[in-house]
Structure 1
Amino acid sequence: MQYETVVIGAGQAGLSAGYHLAQRGEPFVILDAADRVGGSWLNRWDSLALFTPAIRDSLPGAEFGGGYTFPSREELLSYLERYAEQFELPVRLGVHVDGLFREGEGFRVTAGSESFLTRNVILATGAHRVPKIPAFAGELSPDIVQLHSADYRNPGQLQPGTVLIVGAGNSGAEIGVEVGKTHKVLLAGRNVGYLPIEMRGWQGKLTFPVIWWVWEHILTEKKKPGRKVQAEALEGHGELLIRQKEKDLLAVGIERIARIAGVVDGVPQTEDGDLVDVANVIWCTGFKSDFAWVDLPGLDSSGRLASERGCVTGQPGLYVLGQEFQYMFNSHTIGGVGKDAAYVVRDLSRRAPARELDLKSS
């Protein structure tokens, strides 16, 4: 099959790209392996509420609505489905892309036995796709229930007994507060601190517009403060807890312990040498890039793709969207990705040659 542009991923980044492509009359298709649009939001726990309020959770062209509330995971997924339908975006679900190769001046995208020839490719698989779990996890006793945050849905998946949550960032804190209502919880990891304002109340409502403006205009690649924060983010420095406070953790009896450094005789061990007797482990250890299937000459696909605001370096016609701090602090958020998508599609439209590529049907 032959397309002018193939977008890989039907989450917020892919749908934003689709909107701007459609507005410019560019022919394209969006491919996704799932059976529902939504990207990484499909792999989040049931009770998840967004960390940004609804007033900043809109994709280009369609308001989310809801004012200063924090939408649930299901509300967001419903919005994304309506968005794809409203703008009649050509989404093909159940297509698992497994390869990307050069084909003349364009690309060949493979998905099992299917092959797609295209002039442009937009990688919109997002920043939160492949769970990152330490190698020593495989040494844990088989009696311990293990879940990554991508697989955790609710406390009903856990067996009776203590729950160890590894990773004390936002996901670890949010899941810990939920699980702490039914289980004893140990939270392992560095105390990253928390925002000194209550985001869920009047303080958040008053200050969030300023916070968003700083994210969008000060913390960018063009400005020194932005480059500093970007470097720290890419080095894996933990972000402040956005919604939970230390008092919220204490209220459900969460106990903080040192980070987990390994496993001894099937039992987790802290960096202090203490063995931790637990029945369950939830790995809130983040995600890693998933570009190993991209096979292009001169491209290092082992991690974050080097790009200029989404235009992949040295690869004309290849674009990426949804990377953490791609251009600004909130590039990977639902309310921020639209700006990068607009930039990428403008570049794509500008570089389209007057003549047609000689792409042969597969």
Structure 2
Amino acid sequence: MEHIETVVIGAGHSGLAAGFHLARRKLPFTILDAGGQVGDVWRARWDSLRLFTPGRFSGLPGLANPVGRDGYAGKDEFADYLATYARRFDLPVRLGVRVRSVIPRGDEFELDTTAGPMSARHVVAAGGHNALPHVPALARDLDAGIRQLHSSDYRNAGSIPPGAVLVVGAGTSGAEIALELAPTHRVSLAGRPTPHIPDAVFRYAGSAYWLIVHRLLTTGTPPGRKVAASFGLRGAPLIRISLPQLEAAGVTRLPRLTGVADGRPLTDAGEVCTPTAIIWATGFRPDLRWLPPLDVDAVGVPITERGVVRRYPGLFFVGMPFQYALTSGLIGGAARDAEYVAGRIAAGVA
């Protein structure tokens, strides 16, 4: 059985940030990723997707995002940035390796992988929280003639059949997809409205905004703990797009869906919708099926102490929502959590 002192699972931004800080401490580690190349998860998203935070808040330690401070990287640009990052710092990434299970064995972990069995003293789960598309249970009761797909399967307007389209989920992803479809389809957007962060906030007060969400809203402060208690139960704020823009484009706003009537979606206002297609922009859930049993919160996020799993010494997370701060699940926030986890690993092997 191959032994690796520290295994980082996932070569996305969280895994690469963890690798950067492990390498700085000269700790032995390997990053395993199921993709064919670094950044593949981003390349598979819809064609026009851009990051929801500007470049100054979307970079990893040691290498700025090439789009600049106020630019928003496209999904392929960011995928290329991740690949460049792994090469620049010579991070030991092994591609095409899927981890099927992680099992505690004494003071180590046994990993079943597609490259054969491995053992590790430390395991850092860095796959993030966007692993499993979340679709409400009511989707199973809808008429089979309605085409349904999750936002992770959406590519462009040409891939959606003509007619009425219902986008469910009023966060930034749902709003941007609805806006893109509006010129070619009759589009409705269902969901509880989320706050809008104007572009001017990032352009003129970005540093102050980031200071609040990154330094103040943490699990170490009363305001942060208050926000964390309900975090994940609502959609993320709208960035780069607002409800007036949607209305001007002809997108019809609807309240939340609450049920099904005769195979058609039903809103909580009692309105029956008759779409040709439904796009579920209803978020994701972490995939924890390959890990030992964990305590999770109301939306399936593992409960940790800044990424440290007390129940299984040597098991860590990086990149989970509100792992320590509101920014923990964001590209610019994961590095601080990665540095903390790397420090804990260093203390354990010193």
TM class by smaller structure: over 0.9
Q: 2:206 is matched by which residue type in structure 1?
A: F
3-state SS, counterpart of residue 247 of structure 1: helix
Instruction: Report the Cα distance in structure 2 between the residues aligned to 1:74 and 1:39, rounded to whole angstroms.
Output: 9
Q: Does 1:58 align with 2:53?
A: no
Structure 2 partner of 1:176: 178
Structure 1 segment 221-260 matched on structure 2, within 5 A: 221-234=219-232, 236-260=233-257
CA spacing shift, 1:43–1:261, aligned 2, 3 Å = farther
| SS at structure 1 position matched to 2:119 | strand
**Distance in 1, Cα, partners of 2:41 & 2:259:** 28
Whichever residue aligns with residue 22 of structure 2, its letter is L
| Shift in CA distance, 291/301, structure 1 to aligned 2, threshold 3 Å | farther
1:108-159 CA-partner distances (Å, limit 9, x unpaired): 1112472110100000010111111112212323322211011111112100
Q: 2:328 aligns with which of 302, 321, 331?
A: 331
The 10-residue stretch of structure 1 (125-134 or 305-314) with the greater mean CA deviation from structure 2:
305-314
Letter in 2 for 1:224: P
For the residues of structure 2 that align with 1:304 and 1:55, how far apart are their CA atoms? 27
- Aligned to 2:49, the other structure's residue is in SS state coil
Corresponding residue for residue 49 of structure 1:
50
CA contact (8 A) 2:8 2:29 kept: yes
Q: Which residue of 1 aligns with 2:14?
A: 13
Q: Report how many residues are paired.
A: 346
Equivalent position SS for 2:84: helix
Q: CA deviation digits over 1:253-301, x for unaligned, max 9?
A: 00011221222333222223322111110001111121122125xx436
Where does the alignment leave 5 or more consecutive residues of structure 2 unmatched? none
Q: Which residue of 2 aligns with 1:220?
A: 218
Which of 85, 93, 114 lines up with 1:91 in the alignment? 93
What is the distance in 1 between the residues matched to 2:99 and 2:43?
18
TM-score, with length taken from structure 1: 0.91
Please tell me the root mean square deviation across aligned C-alpha atoms, in Å. Answer: 1.7
Per the alignment, residue 125 of structure 1 pairs with 127
Aligned to 2:295: 300
Identify the range of structure 1 (306-315 vs 75-84) with the bigger mean alpha-carbon deviation. Answer: 306-315
For 1:61, give the aligned amino acid: G
Q: For the residues of structure 1 that align with 2:201 and 2:262, how far apart are their CA atoms? A: 48
Residue pair 1:12, 1:39 contacting (<8 A) in 2 also = no
1:107 equivalent to 2:109? Answer: yes
**Structure 1 pair 141/17, CA: closer, same or farther in 2 (3 Å)?**
same
- Give me the whole-angstrom Cα distance separating, in 1, the residues matched to 2:296 and 2:218: 24
Question: Which residue identity is paired with 2:221?
Answer: K
Alpha-carbon distance in 2 for matches of 1:51, 1:220: 21
Summarize deviations over 1:87-120 as a string: whole Å, max 9, x none: 1111122222111101221001112472110100
* 4+ residue segments displaced more than 4 Å: none
Change in 2 beyond 3 A, CA 1:269/1:203:
closer
Residue 153 of structure 1 aligns with which residue?
155
Cα distance in 2 for partners of 1:193, 1:347 equals 36
Task: Describe the SS at the equivalent of 1:74.
Answer: helix
Shifted more, 283-292 versus 109-118: the winner is: 109-118
Gaps of 5+ in 1: 354-362
SS of residue matched to 1:75? helix
1:95 and 1:265 mapped to 2: Cα distance? 45
Which TM-score applies when normalising by structure 2?
A: 0.94
CA spacing shift, 1:90–1:130, aligned 2, 3 Å: same
Q: 2:186 & 2:51 partners in 1: Cα distance?
A: 25
Q: CA deviation at 1:36?
A: 2.3
Query: What is the CA–CA distance in structure 2 between the aligned matches of 1:14 and 1:184, rounded to whole Å?
Result: 40
Cα 1:44–1:256 change in 2 (3 A) is same
Shift of 1:339: 0.7
Q: Conserved in 2, the CA contact under 8 Å of 1:166 and 1:285? A: yes
